[in-house]
Amino acid sequence: MSLSRRDFAKRSAYTGAGVALVGSAGVLATAPGALAAEATDAGAAGTAGHDGGGASLGYGPLVEDPKGILALPKGFRYKIITRTGETKLESGESTPSNHDGTATFEGSRGATLLVNNHELAGPRSDWPHPVPLIEGLVYDPAASGGCTVVEVSKYGDHVTEWVGIAGTATNCAGGRTPWGTWLTCEETEDKAGQNGMTKDHGYVFEVDPHDRNANRDPKPIKALGRYAHEAVVVDPKRGHLYLTEDASGPNGLLYRWVPPHGFEHGRGKLDRLKDDAGVLQAPKCYDSGGNFVDDLSRATKTGTVYGVDWEPVPDRDAKTVSVRKQFKDGEITRARKLEGMWWADGGAYIVSSFAREESPVQHDGQVWFYDPKRRTLTLKVLLGVNPDPSKDGAFDGPDNITVSPYGGLVIAEDGEGIQHLFGATEDGRTYPIARNDLNIGTAEEPEFSEFTGVVFSPDGSTLYANIQVPGIMLAITGPWRRQR
């Protein structure tokens, strides 16, 4: 059923406690489960680690790491699980580089399984450590990327690592499914004949961490479209999938895939869908006055709520025109750098990493919450433009996210300058959890790779995260506690 502009305006006027209207950040910040940045407009950068009343927040200041890898609060510690060029796959090759999106699964005998994307673009000759082409697990032998599966024992020790899928390209983020598999997303639009590829790319693939045979003869899930995929989440109640696109010229889109009537999800079910199964849609948003919103960057206060209609995608396989370019101005709502997603609280948390000249309003990060029941998008976190990313303190460029078992969000930073893992509490404050101290530049011109793949272990005791370059998976443990 379509949510018309008139319907949304009427609902906004009458639901009060259920929907926070534009500018009602104070109302939103008191709602259960609400998340809001400390900065409530796009003119100021978020400030870390304190609140206005002086109450303690987070876990204290970050302590410089004598090993030069990861700064953590006092009492926390880290362990390197995999490192490109050092740890080995069970087949003998090095752990592939460029770690990205990750999910955790319960393994046998108390072990944890982690599916880890490797964001490797273009031909294999471009990379010293591509994902190995294991027989039976290869989609396109020319492509460099894919996923590995890492097993960590109940004692936190790296046990083994193997290939889940190979021959895919630019595996960025993805999403865990309710039936216990991983959907890995290709952030590219390369077609056969481009950048050395022998097959079309820009698809989603399913990887089963528990059943290696299920990963043989990988096939793209073409029903979910071909574009620069970033992340995906599954609505376990309705069966819809939501997907983000990290692209510009024009800005990318949020997508919803509605399954065909009678379809039931489960292991391997998506692989067996017809290429045109279900309906792929893009959003068309309205503000509380019923006015069309062309770009999500126009929201400059946390608590902003937009109503959402969904418009069908004309050609989801983008045979001649990129999907995002198939819509004219005024037909859909765009956003810059649509990145990480996480399903929790009955909806999808969605990141727009930053916006610059290609967007109506500039910012250094947004996190939205899509409520499928109300069909609304609510701005939960807003980071203003960081005036000096080289200085420690403010955060910018959120990317991968997870919902913490201790309340709020944990966010991986992919901004300029210093890179952090940081938390956002339910009452609207931010605090640091970790800082990447591994300088891959020079002393004169330091450079720090982004954090990726932030996710908790199934029991909530360990926070896993990656430093993308050179490719390090870290396990962080310590005195976690609920942030109030």
One DSSP character per residue, 19-65 reads SPPTT-HHHHHTSTT----S--STTS---BS--TT----TT-PEEPP
**Angle at Cα 450 formed by Cα 347 and Cα 482, nearest 5°?**
50
With 60 as the cut, is the pLDDT of residue 131 above it?
yes
With 90 as the cut, is the pLDDT of residue 5 above it?
no
> Among residues 33, 8, 24, which one has the least CA distance to residue 302?
24
Q: In the predicted model, what is the mean pLDDT of residues 370-394? A: 92
With 80 as the cut, is the pLDDT of residue 357 above it?
yes
> Among residues 12, 33, 32, which one has the least CA distance to residue 24?
12
pLDDT at 345 (0 to 100) = 95
Q: In the predicted model, what is the mean pLDDT of residues 437-451? A: 95
Higher pLDDT, 171 or 43: 171
pLDDT at 408 (0 to 100) = 93
**Lowest pLDDT segment from 118-122, 157-161, 293-297, 314-318:** 157-161
With 90 as the cut, is the pLDDT of residue 464 above it?
yes
With 90 as the cut, is the pLDDT of residue 314 above it?
yes
Q: In the predicted model, what is the mean pLDDT of residues 183-205? A: 98
pLDDT at 53 (0 to 100) = 39
* Residue 382 falls in which region: left (phi positive, over 0), alpha (psi -120 to 50) or beta: beta
Instruction: Return the SS3 of 258.
Output: strand
> Among residues 273, 214, 193, 205, which one has the least CA distance to residue 239?
273
Reported as a pLDDT band with limits 50, 70 and 90, residue 484 is: confident
Task: Supply 310's token pair.
Answer: 């969904």
Q: Give the whole-angstrom CA distance, residue 384 versus residue 430.
A: 13
With 60 as the cut, is the pLDDT of residue 12 above it?
no
The phi and psi torsions of 381 (rounded to 5 degrees) equal: -130, 135
pTM of the predicted structure, to 2 decimals: 0.91
401 - beta bridge partners? 411
Q: Give the whole-angstrom CA distance, residue 210 versus residue 181.
A: 8
> What is the domain partition of the chain in residue ranges?
45-95+386-484
Q: Give the whole-angstrom CA distance, residue 210 versus residue 70.
A: 31
Tally of CB atoms within 10 A around 240: 19
Q: Which residue has the tokens 């893009």?
A: 282
What average pLDDT does the structure give for the chain? 89
With 50 as the cut, is the pLDDT of residue 81 above it?
yes
pLDDT at 427 (0 to 100) = 65
pLDDT in tens, 92-126: 999 999 999 999 999 999 999 999 999 999 999 99
Give me the sign of the Cα torsion angle 138, 469, 91, 464.
Answer: negative
Q: Give the whole-angstrom CA distance, residue 474 versus residue 347.
A: 28
Instruction: Return the SS3 of 261.
Output: coil
Reported as a pLDDT band with limits 50, 70 and 90, residue 18 is: very low
- DSSP string of 57-102? -TT-PEEPPTTSSEEEETT-EEEEEEETTTSB-TTSSBPPS-EEEE
pLDDT at 31 (0 to 100) = 25
With 50 as the cut, is the pLDDT of residue 86 above it?
yes
Q: Is the peptide bond before 236 cis (omega within 30 degrees of 0)?
A: no
With 50 as the cut, is the pLDDT of residue 78 above it?
yes
Chain centre distance of CA 59: 24
Q: Give the whole-angstrom CA distance, residue 140 versus residue 132.
A: 12
Contact, 112 vs 105, CB < 8 A? yes
pLDDT at 391 (0 to 100) = 87
Length of the chain in residues, anyone?
484
pLDDT at 10 (0 to 100) = 47
Q: Which own/partner contact pairs does 239-243 have at CB distance under 8 Å and 24+ positions apart? A: 239/263, 239/264, 239/265, 240/372, 242/341, 242/348, 242/350, 242/370, 243/185, 243/204
228 - beta bridge partners? 187
pLDDT at 394 (0 to 100) = 86
With 60 as the cut, is the pLDDT of residue 375 above it?
yes
Reported as a pLDDT band with limits 50, 70 and 90, residue 412 is: very high
pLDDT at 24 (0 to 100) = 25
**Angle at Cα 470 formed by Cα 126 and Cα 82, nearest 5°?**
115
> Among residues 470, 432, 466, which one has the least CA distance to residue 74?
432
